[in-house]
Structure 1
Amino acid sequence: MNRKLLPVLLAAAFLSACDSNETEIQQWMAQERAATKPNIQPIPEPKKFSPQVYQQEAQMEPFSNQKLTVALKRDAQQAGSASAALLAPELSRRKEPLEAYPLDAMVMVGSLMKGGQPVALVKVDNLLYQVKPGNYLGQNYGKITKVAESEVVLRELVQDAAGEWVERTATLQLQEKSK
């Protein structure tokens, strides 16, 4: 029975010793807090603002639209005037009747072979038109490059943000009539 009581007595002795050490630590921490003073750096004085006179008024403003336009034209000329001329629309040619309508107003309703050449049937405003490769469609200078059973593929020329002509491909899909 003595052996079982001995560990309990030792534990109680340690706990009572910890309690006295804890109060000593608390007192030491309070003394250190009171003795320590924070080291705060003062905020530096703000620098004095001295305005300067703008002396470049007679020259062109660096962010003006005029300067941007001149730079874009110069870049376009350096990019190659030959390639730019290849992508310009043919403004002098006579427009075909289907160029008056946007592509989304047209419906491909069928295709057939005529003289060994594929022909698509396009419906606009309840009128039926026959179109073949080489014809023009839509309001973006779209030239038909291919007529298949289920679609008409065309090459359109549109202007990008810089005013240059860019080529894009558009398709007119066969619309099957739903009953």
Structure 2
Amino acid sequence: MQASTWLWALACASVLAACAPTEPTQPADPAALREWMAEQRLQFNARNARSAAAAAGAGTVPTALPAIEPVAAGRGVFADPFDARRLSGLPPAPGQRPERADPPLLAHPLSALRMVGSLRRGDEVVALVQADVQIYQVPVGAFLGKNQAQVLRITEEGITLQEPPRGLPGQSPARTVTLPLQGR
């Protein structure tokens, strides 16, 4: 019992000795401390003055920034961003088809597409169309299938599409097709 007490006392003494400074400490010079505090205060005030001037609008900052539109907004996946006709805002030239928004749905024939449901967001109705294993949201006005049929109406029973005329213009009328809702 006596030996363990001595061991604890020795351990505490060695810990305290390890924490002791190796060099003798001198009391801080009050004048040097005041000088250092004055320097730090000047540096702090200079930094705050610069940031306050920037926050107050020392530079020219526009009051209303223009709306930022994403680069790909309203374009197909492979659209040319430098196309002069698109940049001018003119409609497509005769014989040219307008931009199609969803190329994956244009790669499949209409017979391979299935309407599996619909969603309503406020006044807008969106059809859920399955192509292979992927499901896409299709709004009114979108194009589907290899024949590029345009979505005219979406109901709970199906999608009404209009296929463009085949062959020469004026020879065959546009065809209306319905893609019915299909369950699993």
Q: TM-score, normalising length from structure 2?
A: 0.44
Q: Which structure's CA Rg is the greater one?
A: 1
Comparing both structures, which one devotes a greater share of its residues to helix?
A: 1
Higher relative contact order, chain-length normalized (CA < 8 Å, sep 6+):
1
TM-score (norm: length of structure 1): 0.45
